[in-house]
Amino acid sequence: MKDVINRNNNGVLRIGLPKGHMESGVLKLLSDAGINVTPTARGYRPAVSLQDSEAKILKPQNIVEMLMLGSRDVGFAGADWVREMGAEVVELLDTGLDPVHVVAAAPKTLLEHGELPRRRLVVASEYEKMTADWIESRALDAEFVKSFGATEVFPPEDADAIVDNTATGHTLKANGLVVVDTLMSSSTRLYACPQALADESKRPRIEDLQLLLRSVLDARRRVMVEVNAPADKLAAVVALLPSMREATVSPLYGNSGYAVKAAVPREQLPQVIPAVKAAGGSDVVVTALAQIVP
């Protein structure tokens, strides 16, 4: 690991916010957690509504570099660049935002029985280390060419194959490329500088930030389901609700039954709601959640 540069002795928590396609998702996540990031006249230095904290907007690659150097305490970046740079940083949270796969791709016409030909190849990529590791692992006879964006346009004239990230595969397909290998999956994640975590004045605030963001991500995956059930149907209704721990049950006015509440995984609603109705539940209400803190 590179020598850490301590540029902050005043206890301020320094946050790296990503510039580019990651920016809007991260800012929305922070906002949903009650953390406001407000533009200022200083451009890349927005105001952040966390006490004793400051933020700077940087390219994700630079955030990884600054975390390694110690000039940022926490920051958002893609797992692909952490792996590419061999960064000794601590992953705090996988936001699941901006999911991509890092793949090797080549023109279909180049392939022999679906495989790269066993001849000298040229491989273009922004990912120099990952590409070199992949070439070695596949025992390819290949030369690496560094690209600086728009890697998909290199084949067939300027490269035989590429290593690039893709979310949907549409760009690869539009350029006549097919995936021949998948190197890794990546997403936007929150990382910390190990030295910041070891700082007793910063660690609690880093953990609080982690908790707040996780509470939003957990809430996005669940909804609150409320249903009424008569006494003789209560056990059956409760058994059908996949709650975080146990469903909350309270008596209805006049002892006419029970109200049951549970935070249910969103994707299970199509199965849960009809089953609850069939079991004798009524007055089903589904509500979006803002944050969940276990």
Instruction: Tell me the sheet residues that pair with 26.
Output: none
Confidence bin at 294 (pLDDT 50/70/90): confident
Tokens of 149: 């964006």
Hey, what CATH topology would domain 221-288 get? Alpha-Beta Plaits (3.30.70)
Confidence bin at 128 (pLDDT 50/70/90): very high
User: pLDDT: is 270 or 149 the higher one?
Assistant: 270
Domains 13-97+187-219 and 221-288 share a fold: no
Q: Considering the entire predicted model, what is its pTM?
A: 0.89
* Measured distance CA(52)–CA(85) in Å, rounded: 30
Dmax (CA) of the chain: 82
Hey, what CATH topology would domain 13-97+187-219 get? D-Maltodextrin-Binding Protein; domain 2 (3.40.190)
Confidence bin at 11 (pLDDT 50/70/90): confident
Phi, psi of 14 (to 5 degrees): -100, 120
User: Is 200 a residue whose pLDDT tops 90?
Assistant: yes
Backbone Cα Rg of the chain? 25
- Amino acid present at 280: G
Q: What is the pLDDT of residue 2?
A: 52
* Measured distance CA(42)–CA(98) in Å, rounded: 27
User: Is 9 a residue whose pLDDT tops 90?
Assistant: no
Q: What is the pLDDT of residue 3?
A: 55
What is the dotted CATH code of the domain comprising 100-185? 3.40.190.10
Domain ranges, ordered by start, for the chain: 13-97+187-219, 100-185, 221-288
The residue-averaged pLDDT of 110-116 equals 90
Q: What is the pLDDT of residue 1?
A: 47
Q: What is the pLDDT of residue 63?
A: 97
**Model confidence pLDDT, tens digit, residues 256-266:** 999 999 999 99
